[in-house]
């Protein structure tokens, strides 16, 4: 994917986006579990390394909206999927490196259109003005030799970082609303909840 300053996106030269064969990051059982668990705003913020103010702004402006449950007025809680949290962390990394918000929006839109396939092998590269998708080491080298890429985000690494962070935080079952307690040994309240549940 190439995202230019005008907000448009296209394929890398010589490579059509439709040519790739989908390879899910996890097997179907893990895929199902990521779709049945949601994360409230504070948990999504902690895992993505952002503030609640950023989360709220990005949701209200449509940059990263919660795919499990949006907020419906005062008193309702947004619920983010695992994939939403991965996108939040990618957006944070782009912002930290100075990529324009317009280009980040195009990259997020492209990731959602792709259905998050091939994420483990995908690297997002940017020179600050343009965002490129590279799914092989050869594409990364070609981009760097052309003098276009300055930094890259290995999406698979972000995925694993978010996975590790969320494993220690609380989630919520989408179907029942049951709170799932994370495995953070330092969390005394979580330990008490687990003890009571047994």
Q: What pTM did the predictor assign? A: 0.72
pLDDT tens-digit profile of 92-115? 999 998 888 888 998 888 887 776
Question: Is residue 26 within 8 Å of 59, Cβ to Cβ?
Answer: no
CB 60 within 8 A of CB 71: no
| Among candidate residues 190, 194, 22, the one with its CA nearest the CA of residue 122 | 22
pLDDT for 117 equals 62
Residue that wins the pLDDT comparison between 169 and 8? 169
Per-residue pLDDT, 26: 33
C-alpha torsion sign, points 79, 85, 88, 89: positive
């Amino acid at each position: 994917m190439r995202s230019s300053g005008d907000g448009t996106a296209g394929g890398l030269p010589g490579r059509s986006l439709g040519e790739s064969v989908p390879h899910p990051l996890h097997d179907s059982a893990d895929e199902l579990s990521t779709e049945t668990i949601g994360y409230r705003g504070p948990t999504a913020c902690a895992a993505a390394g952002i503030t609640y103010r950023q989360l709220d702004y990005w949701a209200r402006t449509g940059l990263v909206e919660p795919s499990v449950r949006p907020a419906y007025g005062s008193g309702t809680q947004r619920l983010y999927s695992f994939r939403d949290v991965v996108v939040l962390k990618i957006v944070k990394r782009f912002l930290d490196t100075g990529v324009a918000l317009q280009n980040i929006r195009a990259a997020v839109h492209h990731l959602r259109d792709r259905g998050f396939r091939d994420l483990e092998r995908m690297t997002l590269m940017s020179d600050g003005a343009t965002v490129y998708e590279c799914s092989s080491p050869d594409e990364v080298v070609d981009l760097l030799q052309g003098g276009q890429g300055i930094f890259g985000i290995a999406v698979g690494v972000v995925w694993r970082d978010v996975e590790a962070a969320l494993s220690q935080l609380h989630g919520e079952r989408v179907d029942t609303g049951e709170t799932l307690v994370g495995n953070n040994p330092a969390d005394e309240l979580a330990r008490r909840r687990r003890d009571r549940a047994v």
